[in-house]
Structure 1
Amino acid sequence: MGGDEPSDMLEMLMAAAPVLSGDRTADTLQLLSSGAIDLSRVNVISLNPIRQRLGSRWDRKQDTVWTHVLAYLKRFFGPADLVLQLDALNVLIAQPEVSIAVGRSRSVQAAAELMTFFLGDASASTIDVRLVDSADAAGVALSPMTAQQLEPLLLAAGADVAGPARSGAFPVLTPLGRKLSVRIDLRRLWCLKGGPRLVGYYAHTTIIDDATEEPLTDRQREALLPSELCALDKELLREALQLRAAAPQLFGGLVLPVSYITIANSQTRYELLQAVRDLPAMSRRSFAWEIVDLSPGIPAGKLADVVAMIKNHCRGVVCRLPITPENAEKVAAAGATLSAGPPELPYTEHQLLKLEKKIEAALPRVRVINMHGIPQALAPVTGFIGVTHCTFAQKADAGGG
């Protein structure tokens, strides 16, 4: 086959069964390296998540797994597509007749359906689709899709992307000797304008009182003393930045909750801003703050003063307030953006649609409206009513911020 022209080889392989056996591997690699197929239209689906879940049973089960995988892919992809088992864990998909975006979307959808069948879970942690950087007779060089590339496709494919991209926990001993534990979940922050795009992460926090082993409610959190809130805010700043730094693949900005009480109190504000000054230079303006415990009726001048106190020490300020034209006006005048906290009960489609007029009235005044706690399935509705950004709800959101 070595003397065949690329076009002849392509026709021959297209005429073969969509799933190519091992004796076609050399021909396919030669085809890919010839330039007859744009490598950006070639993806690889990895079965490594299945192998990891099966553990020691993989050796015994892999033939059965591959039989199902290849039979499914033969049905899913058409006669113009090439499907090749590269090795014990990877299957190559070439789709020369569709656009790059469509090809990647179809590969992710196929991977999602396979993982749902084998693992009962199509999520960002169980789907591994890779891009082909180069190909020659020796094999293919692969790179993982970035979160920015992969996760909007997972969302479109119906995979679960509501879970945290990364989680961590740390203890806090308050100045009064109270022992607290804080869990951080870096939740994906989605821009809904023009279709969902991953733009960063929100550091959702759950505070546990070690004495009761129960999470603090929003009201209990607001009842903490300024020194206690400051201790939490300072540790969260350091820990969330370290958590993100430990995962370089995480894309985009980082938004951290911060207490209004910490900022309004001169002593605790000084301590918080000193903690920012102590950060490495690259970290100091790599995050935005969301003020989470503002009074809904806070005067415009007071809000502007609070925002001004921290605005020069971060990338931006978000104010969590009820979505009204009046609050949008105050937030915009302060040079901040608007967010709405998660509801006590999950949003329904009907509840979101009832917010449309409020959001429509607020948007001319403020450019960004973020809503926390949106059910993933309602992302299209949330974008339809004008919300520009959102984070998705998870099963246990009580006591979080």
Structure 2
Amino acid sequence: MLMHQSSGPEGTIAGQDDGATPSSPPAQSIDESFKERARQILAHSQTVTAGSVHLIGLDEIRQELGDRWGSVNERVHVYTERMLKKVLSPRDVWFRYGENHYIIVFAQADRRSAQLTCSKVMESLHQALLGHADTRRITVKTAVVDVGGGVALDTARLADLLKDAVHKPEGTAAASPPPADAVFPAAVSTAIPAAIPAAEARRPHRPEMPADTITPQSRPKVLFRPVFDVKHKVVSTYCCRTDADTARYLNLMDAFDPEREEAVFDLDMETLSLAVSTYNELYANKFRYAQTIPVHFGTLASSRRRREYIQACRMIPRVLMPFLAFELDGLPAGVPYGRLAEIVAMLRPFARAAMAILHEDAGDLSVYATAGVKGVGLRLDGREDEPHILERLQTFCPGPRKFGMFAYVDGVRNPVELEVAEAAGAAYLSGPIIGEDSEVPEHMKRCTERQLLQRSRRRHHPETPWG
């Protein structure tokens, strides 16, 4: 039986077998089968109480995927299991039960908090895999003890749990604490807020991180940055970027710290999930834009991380792929052609192009072009003095064009940098002067450079009546 428990009290679950295949319920309804299994767990463990044993299922996802389920079901399970590993604490236990279900045993959370955590996991799965989440159809089943001492099932809908949470006094029940070694718990937070606004019920809640307390338990926050197309005078592309707190947290970690590698990997997975789920929802509402998704070299250089990342890419809806591009970040100097070509080839089936962004001016552009990279970007550091930034722009931008690639610049902050970057041949520009990072992309905007500057002045000086 496939069972996962990072650590926990001895005797938490009795009668577990080790094996490669999931536990199969008997030939009876899943409800009756779960009641029987829960009865065994409760009877053989002194540390597990009624209300801590829960069942979640993938039947709704299977039904919506239809004929596609046969080819993608294992990837769906990989995605689900990775989410459970990140969300649950080391003392919690989960295992696959039957073909499409999971049993979760919480070590500390009360019944309502555990139900809400399970339901929010399912909401995140629906949002990421289907592009929408109907809170009225997302349910979790809980084993409870009836008046006669037997085991009964309590079925809770996410819509009802959210409604109850709005009226619950702040600070009542909290779910099991997050794993101490989880740098960024993906998908949902195990500490469910006491009140969730109704307008936000359709998406996973993302707690704000205090500016002066970035902790390993904080999830990375991903924002959408507008990009200006110099030739067509339009803002119709968005690139994903982390917020300042997440970037600062990563920058403070040692570059060779294994925890940083995992943190960056979690950031890449969160970015991919958010970008695709957001676009999937907007696409259904006739919203179109080009989306750039960054992925770090370290994620694709590790066989384990690469496998998980590509598995997640396979869940991207085909209709979105022509609008997506991957941006390779952190390419080492002197990366071999074969290695880079292999990475580009892995990403090519899921997007229209692969690009590379550099933090320094170094980079063998001929290798990039031969490997299939379509564009190369330069990320400006605002801490540098202005003359040095302008010199870098003039030196960098003509380079990619010589090898048939386009040049783009991220971090443009003032009119002088914008003018110099355009004059040097940059095809795309992003940064504070183009537009602020936002939680969702906006509609396409046609505008000239003069209009961009006017909008930038209004954002920074709203009280000034600019003409």
Structure 1 length as normaliser, TM-score? 0.47
**Normalised TM-score (structure 2):** 0.41
